[in-house]
Copies of this chain bind each other. A is one copy, B any other.
Amino acid sequence: MQARAIALLRGENARMTHARKAIVDLVFSVNSPISAISVLKGLAKKDIGVNKTTVYRELSYLVKSNILKEVFIKPNSIHYESALLPHHHHLICNNCGSVEEVDCVINERKLLQKIKSKGFDLKTHKFELYGTCASCS
């Protein structure tokens, strides 16, 4: 997966700096959406010194380059995940905050079945649709 990200970056003549590589590696290695601050802490823990500003700028850059995606699952903190994963949804625990992926299901029966099979007690869901409204197109 990282290989494909690296290939995409080369495609737009991005320089392969140590910060860029470390950030891509980290975001791709965790299995759920991660915030800029968690990236910062994660890098620090690996003794990779990357500045906060660089982390924010790099994450934005990677979103623009279609390597990462923004995920708004928590208030007031943008999370990022690989944009190269197949389309999926998230199961977010109200209690511990854990985020688990489920592949795209639009059919209710299939959805409920999938969720039950994971032992997840569904309380609410949000289905936000993005695009261009009639008056803008």
Contacts and interface: CB of A to CB of B under 8 A. Distances in A.
Contact of A132 (B93, B135, B137): B93
A126 B102 CA distance: 12
Contacts of A115: 129
Interface of A: 70-78, 89-96, 98, 100, 102, 106-108, 111, 115, 118-137
Given A89-B126, A92-B129, A120-B133, 11 more contacts: A72-B126, A76-B78, A90-B129, A94-B132, A96-B136, A98-B135, A106-B111, A107-B108, A119-B134, A120-B129, A124-B129
A133 B28 CA distance: 23
Given A107-B107, A120-B131, A121-B132, A76 B76 contact: yes
Contact of A120 (B106, B121, B122, B134): B134
A19 to B, nearest CB: 22
